[in-house]
């Protein structure tokens, strides 16, 4: 159902945020909000390491 999908999205976001915060702290996680192009892709949400690599290269 739509509710199940929304709950899955919340869980994915929570796991992404937890992984980034553990490795880079809140300062690293807050880079998400600095500019639209910093938002993670669905692939990066599933594999936060990809997003962190992209942010290091930026």
Going by pLDDT thresholds of 50, 70 and 90, the confidence category of residue 4 is: confident
For residue 49, give the nearest of 9, 26, 22 by alpha carbon.
22
**pLDDT tens digits, residue range 9-49?**
999 999 999 999 999 999 999 999 999 999 999 999 999 99
pLDDT of residue 1: 80
Q: What is the DSSP letter of 34?
A: T
| Stated pTM of the model | 0.89
Q: Rounded to the nearest 10 degrees, what angle do helices 48-57 and 2-29 cross at?
A: 40
């Amino acid at each position: 159902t739509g509710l199940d999908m929304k709950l899955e999205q919340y869980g994915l976001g929570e796991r992404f945020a937890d992984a980034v915060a553990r490795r880079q702290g809140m300062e690293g996680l807050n880079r998400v909000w600095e500019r639209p192009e910093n938002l993670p892709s669905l692939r990066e949400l599933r594999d936060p390491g990809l997003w962190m690599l992209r942010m290091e290269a930026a």
